[in-house]
Amino acid sequence: AQSVTQLGSHVSVSEGALVLLRCNYSSSVPPYLFWYVQYPNQGLQLLLKYTSAATLVKGINGFEAEFKKSETSFHLTKPSAHMSDAAEYFCAVTQAWSGGYNKLIFGAGTRLAVHP
């Protein structure tokens, strides 16, 4: 079964600094991978997704992630943090189920704090 591990439940960066949020997955088949962002009292918004095309995926708000099969990783980065990036970030991998249902397996989340 697929699983997702997000290293670091809390990450704190200075405004303007590099953001790096780590995600490792386990999957017996080529995975579909996602990063979602959740702002306080909101639902989840898709940041970006990897679906076996380009290994470097660009998403919204200046975020990008690189799929590295050899490392089973899909780390999320942003060159320069903005105060508005403060949120909870979830990495997820698809697990195929019966009936055409694709289950999303979520990591535990990483809370990003951005300080002036």
Nearer to other proteins, 13 or 33 (CB): 33
Query: Which of 75/90 has CB closer to other proteins?
Result: 90
Measured between alpha carbons, how far is 67 from 63 in angstroms, rounded to an integer?
A: 14
According to the binding rule CB under 8 A, does residue 70 interact with other proteins?
no
Tell me if 111 contacts other proteins by CB under 8 A.
yes
Tell me the C-alpha distance between 27 and 14, whole Å: 34
Q: Is 84 in the site for other proteins (CB under 8 A)?
A: no
Asked whether position 109 contacts other proteins by CB under 8 A, the answer is: yes
| Structure-token match 């990495």, residue found | 91
User: Binders of other proteins among 2-41, rule CB under 8 A?
Assistant: 32, 34, 36, 41
CB closer to other proteins, 22 vs 111: 111
DSSP per position, 63-101: -EEEEETTTTEEEEEESS--GGG-EEEEEEEEEE-GGG-
